[in-house]
Amino acid sequence: MNALIKAATIIDSKSSYHGSTVDIRIKYGKIRLIGQNLSLEKGEQLIEKEHLFVSQGWFDSSVSIGQPGYEERETIENGLRVAAKSGFTGIAVNPNTYPILDTSADITFVSKMSEGYAASIFPIGALTRKSESVDLAELYDMQQSGAVAFGDYQRAITNPNLLKIALQYTQGFNGLVLSFPQENKIAGPGKMNEGIVSTRIGLKGIPAIAESLQIARDLHILAYTGGRLHIPTISTAASVALIKEAKNKGLDISCSVAIHNLFYTDSALEEFNTNFKVLPPLRTQEDVDALIAGIKDGTIDMVTSDHNPLDIERKHVEFDNAAFGTIAQEATFGALLTLVSEKKAIQLLTNGRERFTQENSSIEEGTEANLTLFTTKGSTVFSEENILSKSKNACFLGAKLKGSVYGIIANQKLVLN
């Protein structure tokens, strides 16, 4: 793939061209030349857009794709199309398929099915067999087959000794362990955040302490064992404080926050719209303010879409019976840009790649072209026409977003909107 990108402002703090407006020549998938006033050569595709910005390819650390087993929700092919159109060149895919991704053969299947696309899949293997929190899965074998981390999606590790053993065992091959932050006995049958809104509308609540108590437990175990731990999708002010303290102590801990937990509060559930039924639940404005402060000061390492396509039978039911989850990948950049600067937004959308894949690159001559093209100008209202996923359970419908994605260049392929 040969292309010439004209007048693009590079946002990449690792690059010597950071903040510069330049032309970028790409030959056979590699950045060959970065400079001014480059002329279009034969066989090159010209990419020229208004207010064009270029960054390293964005990475989404929590994406659910139905295949295998739930193809009616989403397929690998369309899931990668959604990722590319949303600006992501890499997605870490959760193991919540059927069967659960808990063997090397499962990881190999997903990896093979995702070959040949612009965006890449980085599979997360289940930490425990069938994600039942009883026995560890084939962690080393899955890592050898391409798994970048190990976790049971939206399922807590109920046995603390299992987490201890996992953190000790994975140190032998530098594995990354994920622990979903929820103490199930305290969360109980809750459907939303426990607070004033849940009391007023009569829904069972999930207390904020259910999250912070589990995180406190996990951090104590990490301090004892060592290892690499990632807490996905935190949602409370107490969680931010705990992780900030752990980082100050030098623990190898990272965490993410889902974009909808930054953008909405539990008041969004007043109308019983099941698209806002997510896990962890939408919290209070105090929690949202603490999360935003956490992404600005670096306590929270990355923002994820926590993209979870669900078919209509799982969402168009009574609120109590509806499944947790929303699709959000198509809206992630636009929503994030309403909350932070473009520099911070790109940092939050690219940090996950190094943590999960241990790749550490920058936009320089001679490197592989793994780029996201976007603009920070303009605003849109997210509508059904913006949904690219097979499933339509989008909580961002009607939200005012900022900027837009032009496309990606990765794996020697170009995808433009």
Do the Cβ atoms of 168 and 137 come closer than 8 Å?
Answer: no
User: CA 21 to CA 32: how far, in whole Å?
Assistant: 16
Rounded to the nearest 10 degrees, the angle between the axes of helix 237-248 and helix 209-225 is: 10
Q: Could you read off the pLDDT tens digit of each residue along the chain, which spans 417 residues?
A: 999 999 999 999 999 999 999 999 999 999 999 999 999 999 999 999 999 999 999 999 999 999 999 999 999 999 999 999 999 999 999 999 999 999 999 999 999 999 999 999 999 999 999 999 999 999 999 999 999 999 999 999 999 999 999 999 999 999 999 999 999 999 999 999 999 999 999 999 999 999 999 999 999 999 999 999 999 999 999 999 999 999 999 999 999 999 999 999 999 999 999 999 999 999 999 999 999 999 999 999 999 999 999 999 999 999 999 999 999 999 999 999 999 999 999 999 999 999 999 998 999 999 999 999 999 999 999 999 999 999 999 999 999 999 999 999 999 999 999
User: CA 362 to CA 232: how far, in whole Å?
Assistant: 25
Centre a 10 Å sphere on the Cβ of residue 238 and count the other Cβ atoms it contains: 18
Q: Which distant-in-sequence residues (6+ apart) come within 8 Å of 105 by Cβ?
A: 145
pLDDT number for residue 343: 97
Of 63, 75, 167, 150, nearest in space to 117 by CA: 75
Query: How distant is the alpha carbon of residue 162 from its chain centre?
Result: 25
User: CA 51 to CA 405: how far, in whole Å?
Assistant: 11
Place of tokens 């995808």: 415
Say what the alpha-carbon torsion angle 335, 338, 342, 343 is, to the nearest 10 degrees.
Answer: -90
User: CA 402 to CA 332: how far, in whole Å?
Assistant: 10
Do the Cβ atoms of 191 and 180 come closer than 8 Å?
Answer: no
Omega before residue 189 within 30° of 0, cis:
no
Indicate if 106 belongs to the active site.
no
User: CA 325 to CA 102: how far, in whole Å?
Assistant: 22
User: CA 144 to CA 301: how far, in whole Å?
Assistant: 26
Do the Cβ atoms of 57 and 375 come closer than 8 Å?
Answer: no
Do the Cβ atoms of 285 and 238 come closer than 8 Å?
Answer: no
* Residue 39 Ramachandran class (φ > 0 left, ψ -120 to 50 alpha, else beta): beta
- Which burial class, exposed, middle or buried, applies to 21 when counting CB atoms under 10 A from its CB (0-12, 13-18, 19+)? middle
CA distances from 28 to 35, 85, 252, 257, 389 (A): 18, 21, 38, 36, 30
User: CA 77 to CA 113: how far, in whole Å?
Assistant: 8
User: Taking the alpha carbons of 129, 131, 136, 141 in that order, is the dihedral positive or negative?
Assistant: positive
For the chain, the first-to-last Cα distance in angstroms comes to 17
Do the Cβ atoms of 390 and 377 come closer than 8 Å?
Answer: no
pLDDT number for residue 289: 98
User: CA 68 to CA 100: how far, in whole Å?
Assistant: 9
pLDDT number for residue 391: 97
pLDDT number for residue 360: 87
Going from the N-terminus, what domains does the chain have, and what CATH number goes with each? Answer: 3-53+366-389+401-416 (2.30.40.10), 67-357 (3.20.20.140)
Q: Supply 333's token pair.
A: 């950049």
User: CA 240 to CA 310: how far, in whole Å?
Assistant: 29
Q: What 3-state DSSP class applies to 388?
A: coil
Do the Cβ atoms of 389 and 331 come closer than 8 Å?
Answer: no
253 membership: H or E segment, kind and range = strand 253-258
Burial 115-124 (b: 16+ CB within 10 A, else e): eebbbbbbbb
User: CA 117 to CA 155: how far, in whole Å?
Assistant: 30
Of 374, 370, 375, nearest in space to 413 by CA: 370
DSSP state of 119: S
Q: Which is it for strands 30-35 and 21-27: parallel, antiparallel or unpaired?
A: antiparallel
Q: What 3-state DSSP class applies to 369?
A: coil
Of 41, 49, 43, nearest in space to 5 by CA: 49
Among candidate residues 106, 306, 311, 320, the one labeled active-site is 306
Query: How distant is the alpha carbon of residue 332 from its chain centre?
Result: 9
